């Protein structure tokens, strides 16, 4: 969820991956004792709890609260994986009280575009943890103000392992924000890691929009999932840090740089069509309108 004030994120502490469990008892233990979640907003909390209950995925450890009031609760869980989707334009009452004290009186919404949620969580989980977070594109390309401030804080303490540019209408029919997924390794600061960051241009996930249904998975003529094939390709690129024109690139970055594949990727012009050009122009005008540009 990316609605204002949702503050949604799921925290998972998993000693063994579900796929590695050899018995149902082991899987039950993971569901009951190794998956944790926090959600502030009533509707999102109800949906997440109900969905997990239906699928038997550990809803007993999902609590309704502000994460900023649950520091000790988080620290006690020995978290090793964090999945987050913070609000992108949260008002003051949903943000970290210590952070909002620094706001100018005219500020009504989170100037960090959700970044301060990530930095706060990073300080309250073990250094062995990894964080995967969905943030708006403004957080990736911003190099001024509070966005740059928190980009610098993250790199001063942690490593930016990867950034994936996601489908433009990923949240359809809900929020219209264009998001990316950032992965942070908390074990050491970025400069000390001294390695390139992986950037994936993962825009086409083989889902299409269907009125009343949202985004629907496509299949080939034999009924096989096109997403599963795409997922396997993306994971292979990321795990092996492979560069493929039009899909992925490795680049060394700082807090002053743009954190997205589009800034560094070599374009595979053989695959471009007139539709691609028109779509890019539409996306650009849409971005200008949303960002208040002219």
Query: Is the predicted pLDDT of residue 212 greater than 90, yes or no?
Result: no
Total domains present in the chain: 1
- Nearest in space to 260 (alpha carbons), one of 270, 268, 249, 271: 249
Tokens matching residue 242 = 């492979």
Specify the pTM. 0.83
Residue pLDDT, tens place only, 185-203:
999 999 999 999 999 999 9
Closest by CA to 95, choosing from 164, 205, 4, 212, is: 4
Q: How far is CA 115 from CA 21, 122, 152, 169, in A?
A: 34, 11, 11, 21
**How far apart (Å, rounded) are the C-alpha atoms in residues 38 and 21?**
25
What letter would DSSP give residue 233? H
Q: Residue 56's pLDDT is what? A: 74
pLDDT at 9 over 90: no
Q: In which element (H, E) is residue 38 found?
A: strand 35-39
**290 falls within a domain:** no
Residue 3 lies in a domain: no
Q: Residue with structure tokens 């924000």?
A: 177
- Nearest Cα to 63, choosing from 45, 79, 51? 45
Please check whether residue 190 is in contact with residue 155, taking contact to mean a CB–CB distance below 8 angstroms.
yes
Phi-psi region of 252 (alpha: psi -120 to 50; beta: other; left: phi over 0): beta
Is 225 domain-assigned? Answer: yes
The whole-number pLDDT of residue 11 equals 47
Q: Using CA of residue 99, residue 92, residue 68, residue 181, what is the dihedral sign?
A: negative
Within-domain flag for 50: no
H/E run at residue 131: strand 130-136
Tokens of 59: 């809803």
Where residue 132 sits, what CATH number does that domain have? 3.40.50.150
Binned at pLDDT 50, 70 and 90, residue 180 comes out as: very high
pLDDT surpassing 50 at residue 179:
yes
Measured between alpha carbons, how far is 189 from 64 in angstroms, rounded to an integer? 32
Confirm whether 64 is domain-assigned: no
State the chain's mean pLDDT as an integer. Answer: 87
| Confidence band for 8, pLDDT divided at 50, 70 and 90 | very low
For residue 23, count CB atoms less than 10 angstroms from its CB and return exposed for 0-12, middle for 13-18, buried for 19 or more. exposed
**pLDDT computed for residue 272 by the predictor:** 74
Q: Is residue 4 part of a domain?
A: no
- pLDDT tens per residue across span 132-148: 999 999 999 998 999 99
Q: How many CA atoms lie within 13 A of 69 on its CB side?
A: 10
- Dist. CA 147–CA 249, nearest whole Å: 23
Q: Which domain holds residue 239?
A: 80-268
Distances (CA, A) of 257 to 66, 154, 162, 261: 32, 13, 14, 11
**What percentage of the chain reaches a pLDDT higher than 90?**
59
Per residue in 257-272, pLDDT (tens digit) is: 999 999 998 766 677 7
Q: From the CB of residue 114, how many other CB atoms can be counted at a distance below 10 Å?
A: 27
Structural domain includes residue 84: yes
H/E stretch holding 207 reads strand 207-210
Contact (CB, 8 A) for 260 and 180: yes
Q: Is residue 62 part of a domain?
A: no
Q: What order do you get walking across the sheet with 179-185 strand by strand?
A: 62-64, 35-39, 9-12, 81-84, 130-136, 179-185, 159-165, 197-201, 248-251
């Amino acid at each position: 969820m990316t609605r204002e004030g949702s503050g949604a994120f799921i925290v998972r502490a998993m000693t063994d991956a579900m796929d590695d469990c050899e018995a149902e008892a082991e899987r039950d233990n993971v569901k009951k004792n190794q998956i944790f979640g926090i959600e502030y907003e009533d509707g999102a909390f109800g949906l997440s709890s109900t969905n997990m209950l239906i699928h038997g995925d550990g809803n007993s450890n999902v609590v309704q609260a502000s994460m900023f009031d649950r520091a000790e609760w988080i620290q006690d869980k020995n978290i090793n994986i964090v999945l987050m989707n913070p609000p992108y334009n949260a008002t003051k009452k949903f943000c970290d009280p210590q952070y909002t004290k620094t706001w100018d009186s005219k500020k009504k919404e989170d100037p960090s575009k959700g970044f301060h949620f990530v930095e706060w969580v990073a300080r309250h989980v073990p250094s062995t943890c990894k964080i995967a977070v969905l943030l708006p594109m403004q957080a990736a390309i911003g190099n001024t103000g509070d966005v740059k401030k928190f980009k610098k804080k993250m790199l001063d303490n942690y490593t930016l392992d990867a950034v994936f540019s996601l489908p433009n209408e990923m949240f359809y029919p809900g929020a219209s924000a264009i998001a990316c997924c950032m992965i942070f390794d908390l074990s050491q600061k970025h400069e000390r890691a001294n390695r390139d960051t992986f950037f994936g241009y993962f825009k086409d996930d083989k889902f299409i929009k269907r009125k009343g249904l949202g985004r629907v998975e496509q299949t080939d003529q034999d009924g096989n999932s096109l997403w599963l094939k795409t997922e396997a390709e993306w994971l292979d690129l990321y795990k092996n840090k492979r560069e493929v024109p039009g899909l992925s690139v490795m680049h060394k970055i700082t807090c002053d740089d743009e954190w997205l594949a589009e800034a560094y990727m070599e374009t595979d012009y053989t695959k471009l069509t007139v539709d691609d050009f028109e779509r890019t122009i539409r996306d650009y005008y849409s971005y200008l309108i949303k960002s208040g540009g002219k």
